[in-house]
Amino acid sequence: ISTRQLERLFRRYLNRSPKRYYMELRLQKARHLLLQTDMSVINVALACGFTSPSHFSKCYRTYFSTTPYRERGLGQPDGREAAG
């Protein structure tokens, strides 16, 4: 199967590109780890294949409309994020 063919099949049956699908899987796994473990946000980012905690936070915020720190309950009321 060619790359283009795979992309077409993903779009037809999953309504997203393979890249987008993989990113969503990584973010869902990250959310699970944040809610079910005591791993630090940085370790969750690394465990889910993100090489930069800031890139992870940006992707997470875009996808879930909240930051990983707030999801974990570490967000500060004044909008600043706790280190972690």
pLDDT in tens, 12-47: 999 999 999 999 999 999 999 999 999 999 999 999
Domain boundaries, the chain: 3-69
CA 9 to chain centroid, in Å, comes to 24
- C-alpha pair distances (Å), 48 with each of 1, 41, 61, 77, 83: 27, 11, 15, 27, 19
Element (H, E) at 61: helix 53-64
**Fold of the domain spanning 3-69:** Arc Repressor Mutant, subunit A (1.10.10)
Q: What is the pLDDT of residue 77?
A: 45
Question: Do 18 and 26 contact (CB within 8 A), yes or no?
Answer: no
Q: What is the pLDDT of residue 75?
A: 55
